[in-house]
Amino acid sequence: MATIPWLVDVLRGAGVQVVVEGDWLNRMRPGSFNPIGVLWHHTAATSSASNPHPALNICINGRSDLPGPLCQALVDYHGVFHVISAGRCNHAGVSGGSGPIPAGDGNTLMIGWEIDYNGVSQQMTAAQYNASVAATAAVLKRLGRDASHARGHRETSTTGKIDPSFIDLNSMRADVAARMAGGGTAWSATVDNTTAGRFTASANWGVSTYSGQRYGTNYRYANPVAASDAAWYKFNVPATATYRVEAWWPANAGYNSSTPYVVATTTGNRTVYVDQRVNGGQWRVLGTFTLPAGDANRVGVSRWSGAAGYVIADAVRLTRV
Ligand SMILES: [Zn+2]
């Protein structure tokens, strides 16, 4: 095998969001490429929601001491795979041997994901992890290899590499194996009212720690009003598909009996009314909906209720089904 021109299709088929970076089919290093495994790295660059792929240019073009491409794909802050190369890349150096990966030329033996986080003061995001597990499972299935062929650079390096930091690689392989078996690890993401950059509400929504049934440190509350002043939860939905939408609220006899949750589906907004006087402190299913791919506000809590009592915005979870 000299190239893996199937990479983009395999990733998309696994529900991974893909951005194709230019002429990826013809951008590669000379030399042999017969991959039997997937190697995880971190870039050591500090990524953020507003700067999601700071190492992308280096991974495409290389640096003064190492010509690019430096990986087959870069995984950005939001879990989007930027596909750079269908062939050999300078990511692995010499393999010292790890699990079923023998000692030898790591760039021949493995496909590399450069996951864009700094690995010292910054961990991999949940979106990066979920997408990397899904991508690794799909690629290993395509290669006809099991989950033991997923490795971390620190396992194969002969030069003391530490990447990928903050990841238990045995847990990662267990998650890849579960994904390959078709169980357990469907894409899921939770947004709490304190999740940075993913929750917005006006100043009319107060902050409370009153109920011990809250998710996380606090929750938001507001009086019902016949006006549009929703609190919104933003998700980076990996593919247009069916998702289970769940909500968590602390319950109280004084809270609203008909709180409107708005779900932004492929066919417009759907509203589900819940009784926040009961069923608190647990995930409650609002329904399953077809959601469009992309990063946007997906679920809102509206203040427009005809019932009395505070409407509550705490946490929302999406799970692909
Ligand atoms: Zn590395």
Question: pLDDT digits over 221-266, tens only?
Answer: 999 999 999 999 999 888 888 898 999 999 999 999 999 999 999 9
Same domain, 127 and 215: no
Q: Which domain holds residue 286?
A: 188-320
Q: Considering the domain boundaries, does residue 1 fall inside one?
A: no
- 314 CA to centre of own chain: 21
Instruction: Compute, in angstroms, the gap from residue 41 CA to the centroid of ligand 1.
Output: 4
Ligand 1 centroid – CA 224 distance (Å): 52
pLDDT at position 320 is: 84
Domain end residue (candidates: 138, 160, 180): 180
Q: How far is the CA of 115 from the centre of ligand 1 (A)?
A: 9
Residue 6's DSSP bridge partners are none
Give the C-alpha distances (Å, rounded to integers) separating 42 from 2, 73, 142, 149, 290: 25, 12, 24, 18, 33
The answer to whether residues 176 and 192 belong to one domain is: no
**Residue 65 alpha carbon to ligand 1 centre in Å:** 15
Q: Please tell me whether residues 302 and 172 are part of one structural domain.
A: no
- 127, 53 in Cβ contact below 8 A? no
Q: Are residues 165 and 206 in the same domain?
A: no
Q: How many angstroms does the Cα of residue 12 sit away from the middle of ligand 1?
A: 24
2, part of any domain:
no
pLDDT average, residue stretch 49-73 = 97
CA atoms within 13 A on the CB side of 45: 19
For residue 141, the CA-to-ligand 1 centroid distance in Å is: 23
Instruction: Classify 72 as helix, strand or coil.
Output: coil
pLDDT, tens only, 145-160? 999 999 999 999 999 9
Residues 36 and 102 in one domain: yes
Whether the predicted model's global pTM rises above the 0.75 cut: no
Phi, psi of 252 (to 5 degrees): -160, 145
Instruction: Give me the phi and psi of 145, to 5 degrees please.
Output: -120, 155
The average confidence (pLDDT) of the chain is 94
Q: Based on the fold, state whether residues 41 and 119 are members of the same structural domain.
A: yes
The last residue of one of the domains, among 128, 163, 180, is 180
In the chain, the number of structural domains is 2
Same domain, residue pair 127 and 202: no
